[in-house]
Structure formats: C-alpha cells, structure tokens
Amino acid sequence: MEAHNPTGVAIGQEVPKPVSAVIFDMDGLLLDTEGAYTVAQQRILDRFCRTFTWELKALMMGRQPQEGARVLLEALQLTPEEITPEQFLAERDALLRDVFPDSPLMPGAERLVRHLAAHRVPIALATGSSQSQFALKTSKHGELFGLFNRVITGDMVHRAKPDPAIFLAAAEGFPLPQPTPGSVLVFEDAPNGVEAALAAGMRVVMVPYPGMPEEISRGCGATAVFASLEDFKPEQWGLPPYTDSST
C-alpha cells in the first residue's frame, strides 16, 4: 500500500504548520497484539458458529474492552442468554494473558519513538487498553514505553474512541506551552481512532494493521495512509529527519 497525500495538503493550498507533538495508539500500531486478539476471539465465537471478520475487527479496534465486546456481540446478534460482554471478556482475557507479554514491536515503531524522544518532540500514548493490560503488554518493552511524556489508557477516560476524549486528555499532558490541536499528529491503525483524532481537531496518519481491506483504511478520512511506520518521513511533517542509516 502506498502513501496517499503524505502532507495532507491539496495542490495550491498553504502548507500546514509543522507538527509540534505526536500521539500514538498502541495495539496494532506499536505492538503487534491484533493477531492474538483475532485468534482468541475466533476461538470463542466458534462455538456459536460465527466468524470474526475484518469488518467486525474494525468495529472493535480502539474501543474500551467492555464497549468493544458489546458492539461485537450486538453485530453478531448474540444475546445475553448466549454470552454476555462480561463473559466474553473473561474468556478472552484468560486466553490472552499468557501471550501478551511476548507481543513484538511493529516494524518502524522503536525507531520512530526513539527518534522523536531524542529530539525532544513531546510524545504521548492513547490506548483503549486498560492500565493492567498496558502493563502486561509492555512488560518486556518498559524502557521504550517509558520515553512517553504521558500515557492515557482506556480506563482513564469516560468515553472511548471514536469520541475524541482520549486524545484530548493525552494532549493536556504535553509540556507547556501546550500545542494547539492542529499541530498535533496522531498515529492510528483503526478507523475508530482516526475518527476520534479528527474530531479532536488533529491530523492523523493511519497505518492499517496488515491484512485490513483497503476499502476500510481508505474510507476513514485519515490525513495520510502508510503501509508501515517505516514509510513515514518525519521531515515531510516539519519534524527532525532521521539521521541514522536505516531505510
């Protein structure tokens, strides 16, 4: 997948002011947890003869766990008599508990985070995962995630993506003077997250999780879409360019 409109500027328009702060989603963007979620959820749905499709995955991505489970079960027309959101999450969490600590970093994630931190660009994390899930998933990457100026988890806000609350909360923790929403760049892998970032008045780069149908990623209104974080060029957004030899 190639990037489209990498600066988010139409021909003849004024180039927007440079990015002054960056917010990242986590699951499927920085950490490869989405595959584990898919396997675990399909295993639960097998007994109801349901299939966990990409369309369903896109509905859930970025939401708080309880809301994501509710949306999924409603979409599949599974009644509380069959399985409740609480039961679904309990089963899923039991399946995932042992695999989350081994979640690998997504391509380009470590390089970009370390680069921004080294150049003192304010960075924050805004994830739908709970605080306990965040700790579990990042347990082997603690030093890297310790570089973030602020971490907002799903249970720290009252409204989940696509509501902009989590991104607005993340931006509130940036060093003074706080950046305006229009100077904040968000990285997301999910349509719900893209919608939330745009609602917050921020620009957003979408990096769809591998395998996401193109019609889902192209139709969400992101400022730009890249196949991988490795394709992102900081200097195109007014950020310091990479100085290492990686390509």
Kindly report whether the peptide bond that precedes residue 6 is cis, defined as omega within 30 degrees of 0.
no
Lookup: tokens for 234? 């900081």
Catalytic residues: 25, 27
Residue with tokens 């990457």: 141
d(CA 187, CA 125): 10
28 φψ region: left (φ > 0), alpha (ψ -120 to 50), beta (else):
left
Measured at the CA of 237, the angle between CA 232 and CA 242, to 5 degrees, comes to 55
Buried b (16+ CB within 10 A) or exposed e, 96-115: beebbeebebbebbebbbeb
